[in-house]
Structure 1
Amino acid sequence: MMDGRPRRQVAATMASAAQDWLELLSAEQRAIAVGQMPSDSSMDLERRRWFYTPIDHGGLTFHQQRPAQQRGAMRLVAAGLSRPGYVTVATTIGLENVLDHTEGFVELFGRERGRDPGLYYLRVFGDPAPSGTWGWRFGGHHVSLNNLVVDGELVSTTPCFMGADPASSELLGGAVNRPLARVEDVARELVCSLHPDLARRAILSPRAPSDFVTGNRTTITLGDRAMSDATAAHEESYGSVLEYTAQPKGIPAIDLDPSQRDLLRSLLGTYFGRVPDLVAPAYDDTALGALHFAWAGPTGLGAPHYYRVQGPHLLIEWDNTQSDANHAHSVWRDPENDFGLDVLRAHRQRHH
């Protein structure tokens, strides 16, 4: 049985940060910042909305908070992340200014400013009591963090989304800002290391979808395909090849040699390493062997591409296809228990 103490420790840190943030808010702010207690019923649908586009994610924005309140909000965000995860999220928020510059400071999306680092939203669901059941969500353009605590234990951290636009941008002295560099490069190193026979099985399509196959759907369903219109135009040629299926596609990890398995472990680390070390999943050889790795698109640098890793309670998706392959998305999901629905269902059955 998994030791729940680390998950209780992280949950306690989250609860303390959430309580401190809420105490800084006015009654008007709290009305926006606090949502319904988590459950597995239809009353919980707001908590299960999630996006990675620049629209209203629900909650209190940075613009609606004073500086001390903003700092309290970021303390809660940090409680759900490792140090590298926090730095990546903070960098992604800052990239809104870079993207605005790239686009000539013209995008509005019906707002006063379209690319806006102040439009990141935080909402707490329920009462963050130390031993209670509650959750929180933080999101905005290219960030979506979803956490659930049940009876004082952190039970779900998915969906966990991080993106970057631009995925690569210039720094002084010839340096390059690539917040998700290893998330992309390790997977490419893995697919390029494959023997031709394995590569033919791993590469599902010569063309990548223009976004995730599962998109930002609340529930992953068999047959899911990429939701964008750009992909739909090519559905006949490769849509069914890439659609989500219960049987993972690509190659199983048991077919990889030891060095390739090490690469797969490193790739998993770029997703699991987003959360605090105490609660990051650990994969032994047996669990690793149950995973499958698949790729779509060319394998060369700078080409639009997509990959996924799938196994029991795990789906990882990545795409870097838009904006001439300089606009990256990455997500870690649990198809069986996103948003902690299975745990909430079991909790209701025990207590009612």
Structure 2
Amino acid sequence: MARAGLAEPFQGIRCNGSVSRDPIPPALAGASLAPLLEAARTFLASLDAPQRRAACLAIDDEAWRGWSNFHPWLMPRNGVCLADLGHEQREAALALMRETMSATGYQTARDVMRLNEHALEITGKPEEYSEWYYWVSIFGTPSPEGPWGWQIDGHHLNVNCLVLGDRLVVTPTLMGSEPVLARFGKYSGLRVFATEEEQGYALMSSLPPEVQAAATIGTVLPWEVFGGAFNDNRHIEPGGLRYGDLPQEGRERLEVLLAHYIGYIRPGHSELRWEEAKRHLSDTHFAWIGHVEDTSPFYYRILSPVILVEFDHQPGIVFDNDLPSRDHIHTLVRTPNGGDYGKDLLRQHYLQCHTDEHGAHTHSHTGRNVAEAPK
């Protein structure tokens, strides 16, 4: 049932009033992705032949869309599992994430993995939880010019990255945790998503009551973020309040919150993404589900033609609570209008390849394009 959405051709998250995405921006000066390319080549070189066969997929493989937040063995996974790799191989895999994300983004992702180990300490279920139950795939052949990408897929951590020269797309990205605070054990004191929770609540609580009411689209929290796994083509009504209808303080707080999520991406590219988001602030909506109380769980959403951010408090899985609590959080960042997985970037790239000024250059993107370790 969960994979039924994958049978549909990819269109991307859609919303009323959405507009076409901007053309491919020029390569970002001073923000080379050479370190990420080197990390990919180093990772591939660390693998033996069977591991490389498992890790390497075609650039247009539908495995891109098969990521899932479900427990590791409930769904088939693509790529190589970090639990099956040696220390140096794991470090090489983590370098992909480190070179893609900012220091804050990387720290959050690693802390999500560590808290998945804490879930094992709580439950005593090594078949379900581990710091290393995450699968890494390489799509296409890492190169300075051609498109390629990578994915990490597992419980509460799903990152998809497409690279084209020095251009970068890092969506969909889902990160979550239960619990969000380790109260004992190996990672005692570790906490995630405090900023995302506190800034979202501060934004909503700063609004006058009548504005809060206009932003609220429901009181019963969804069981999952709307744009989660297998929802690549979901239509989402903007709902809530348009950016321009928020009071000045609300607009400022919304910008700070949106910039925080965009700041998961490596420096330079996050600034480029932020400039894109700012150009569409007039079409950006903020929506809230739940109550506005100090301890109550809640959901919020920021939706524009170029970015979707979701935050949701969830019911318990590690803990036995049927109602949402602040101890289980999911966050999501997507690129609506066909931008996820770099699909729109790839589409424009192939269009350019097929229509160069001489009409002679063609670029096939079908078939299995298997990455190889550097020779």
Corresponding residue number in structure 1 for 2:154: 140
RMSD between aligned alpha carbons? 2.1
Corresponding residue number in structure 2 for 1:88: 108
What letter matches 2:149 in structure 1? G
Asked if 1:117 corresponds to 2:119, the answer is no
Q: TM-score, normalised by structure 1?
A: 0.83
1:178 is paired with a residue whose SS is coil
Per-residue deviation, residues 255-286 of structure 1 (Å, max 9, x unmatched): 22332222112211231111101111224765
Range 22-31 or range 258-267, more displaced: 258-267
Corresponding residue number in structure 2 for 1:236: none
- Size of the aligned set, in residue pairs, is 314
Corresponding residue number in structure 1 for 2:228: 215
Match of 1:289 among 268, 282, 286: 282
Q: Is the 8 A contact 2:136 2:151 kept in 1?
A: yes
- Report the alpha carbon displacement of residue 213 of structure 1 after superposing the two structures with TM: 1.8
1:189 is paired with a residue whose SS is helix
Match of 2:35 among 3, 8, 13: 13
Structure with more contact order per residue of length (Cα contacts < 8 Å, sep ≥ 6): 2
**Quick one: distance in 2 between partners of 1:191 and 1:118?**
36
**Quick one: distance in 2 between partners of 1:277 and 1:346?**
24
Range 135-144 or range 340-349, more displaced: 340-349
2:232 is paired with a residue whose SS is coil
What letter matches 1:4 in structure 2? A
Match of 1:51 among 68, 80, 86: 68
**Quick one: distance in 2 between partners of 1:78 and 1:200?**
41
1:5 is paired with a residue whose SS is coil
Q: Is the 8 A contact 2:227 2:332 kept in 1?
A: no
Match of 1:166 among 138, 158, 179: 179
Asked if 1:314 corresponds to 2:314, the answer is no
What letter matches 1:279 in structure 2? H
The unaligned stretches of length 5 or more in structure 1 are 223-243
Q: Is the 8 A contact 2:239 2:287 kept in 1?
A: yes
Range 331-340 or range 94-103, more displaced: 94-103
Asked if 1:331 corresponds to 2:327, the answer is no
CA separation of 1:270 and 1:57: change in aligned 2, threshold 3 A? farther
Per-residue deviation, residues 306-343 of structure 1 (Å, max 9, x unmatched): 11101111111111121241110000001211111122
CA separation of 1:46 and 1:65: change in aligned 2, threshold 3 A? same
CA separation of 1:116 and 1:285: change in aligned 2, threshold 3 A? closer
Per-residue deviation, residues 132-170 of structure 1 (Å, max 9, x unmatched): 2111001211111111122x1334211011111102332
CA separation of 1:218 and 1:101: change in aligned 2, threshold 3 A? same
Match of 1:77 among 97, 103, 106: 97
- Report the alpha carbon displacement of residue 218 of structure 1 after superposing the two structures with TM: 4.9
CA separation of 1:66 and 1:350: change in aligned 2, threshold 3 A? same
Per-residue deviation, residues 239-269 of structure 1 (Å, max 9, x unmatched): xxxxx22xx1100111223322221122112
Q: Is the 8 A contact 1:171 1:177 kept in 2?
A: no
- Higher-helix-fraction structure: 1
Asked if 1:149 corresponds to 2:183, the answer is no
Asked if 1:267 corresponds to 2:257, the answer is yes
- Please show how residues 184-199 of structure 1 align to structure 2 within 5 Å: 184-199=197-212
The unaligned stretches of length 5 or more in structure 2 are 1-22, 317-323, 355-375
Q: Is the 8 A contact 2:147 2:346 kept in 1?
A: no
Q: Is the 8 A contact 1:220 1:335 kept in 2?
A: no
CA separation of 1:145 and 1:286: change in aligned 2, threshold 3 A? closer
CA separation of 1:58 and 1:89: change in aligned 2, threshold 3 A? same
Corresponding residue number in structure 2 for 1:4: 27
Corresponding residue number in structure 1 for 2:51: 29
- Report the alpha carbon displacement of residue 86 of structure 1 after superposing the two structures with TM: 0.9
Q: Is the 8 A contact 1:85 1:274 kept in 2?
A: yes
Q: Is the 8 A contact 1:49 1:218 kept in 2?
A: no
Per-residue deviation, residues 169-197 of structure 1 (Å, max 9, x unmatched): 3269xx95331011111111111111111
**Quick one: distance in 2 between partners of 1:21 and 1:310?**
35
2:119 is paired with a residue whose SS is helix
What letter matches 1:199 in structure 2? Q
What letter matches 1:79 in structure 2? E
**Quick one: distance in 2 between partners of 1:171 and 1:262?**
37
Corresponding residue number in structure 1 for 2:11: none
- Report the alpha carbon displacement of residue 53 of structure 1 after superposing the two structures with TM: 2.1
Q: Is the 8 A contact 1:48 1:218 kept in 2?
A: no
